Each structure stands twice: as C-alpha cells, then as structure tokens.
C-alpha cells in the first residue's frame, strides 16, 4: 500500500535512485536549459525519455499493446499531454499503484533502449 505521507516527488525520487546507477540512464528536470519535450522531470536512456513525473503520476513509454492492456485492466490511463491528444505509447500510472512503478519503469527503459539501438 502506498504511504500517504510520501508525496509524488519523493516517490519519483526513489524511483530515480533505482535507475541512476545505470550509466546509460540520465535524469533531466523540466526547468533547465535542456528542458524535456514534455516539460517534466524525466528519466532518459540513450537521451530518450522512458519515464517522467507529471502532476503526481508516473508516465512511462511502452509498446501500444502493453498500454492497451494496462488501460483495459484499469491500472492506468493513456497519457494526454494537453488538448485531448492521447499518446498511444505513453501511459499514466497513479500513486495508488506505486508498488508497480519500478517494474513499469524498468519495462519502459528496456523498450526505449531497444528502439534506440
């Protein structure tokens, strides 16, 4: 169960610590000169975003069929960067499913790394 005393930024920070030991992974914040395309705090592999925190939700890039499954199971929602344009390979996972964040981020990292190769 998610600890309600831990805010989403702290949850994402914990997630970042898991991945930043990998030399292929970097972290970028939405307020610097190299701002991410989505304007969020993000984790990148080979300079491509695979996970980010947006409005307290984890957003990860996964194959479309995997996103479809997660949405169908009610475990996430398609990511909308604004204007009602749903992204077919991005899914948002709420803080209530924080125990799954690391596994989903790992899956996203592998997916993005394979596509970059």
Q: What is the pLDDT of residue 95?
A: 87
Segment 20-27 shows an average pLDDT of 93
Whole-angstrom distance, CA of residue 87 vs CA of residue 84: 9
- The structure tokens listed for 75 are 């475990």
pLDDT for 40-98, tens place per residue?
689 999 899 999 999 889 999 999 999 999 999 999 999 999 888 999 999 999 988 88
Which of 17-31, 33-47, 92-106 shows the lowest per-residue confidence on average (mean pLDDT)?
33-47
Continuous segment of H or E residues that includes residue 53: strand 48-54
User: Could you tell me the residue ranges of all domains in the chain?
Assistant: 8-116
8-42: buried (b, 16+ CB within 10 Å) or exposed (e) per residue? beebbeebbeebeeeeebeebeeeeeeebebebbb
Of residues 112, 111, 103, the one with CA closest to residue 15: 103
Q: What is the CATH number of domain 8-116?
A: 3.30.1460.30
Whole-angstrom distance, CA of residue 37 vs CA of residue 35: 7
Model-level pTM?
0.86
């Amino acid at each position: 169960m998610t600890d309600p005393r831990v805010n989403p930024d702290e949850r994402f920070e914990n997630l970042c610590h898991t991945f930043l030991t990998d030399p292929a992974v970097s972290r970028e914040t939405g307020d610097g000169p190299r701002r991410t395309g989505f304007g969020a705090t993000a984790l990148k592999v080979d300079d491509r975003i695979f996970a980010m925190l947006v409005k307290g939700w984890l957003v990860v890039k996964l194959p479309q069929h995997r996103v479809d499954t997660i949405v169908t199971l009610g475990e996430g929602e398609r990511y909308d960067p604004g204007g009602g344009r749903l992204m077919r390979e991005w899914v948002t996972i709420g803080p209530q499913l924080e125990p799954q964040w690391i596994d989903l981020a790992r899956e996203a990292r592998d997916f993005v790394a394979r596509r970059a190769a």
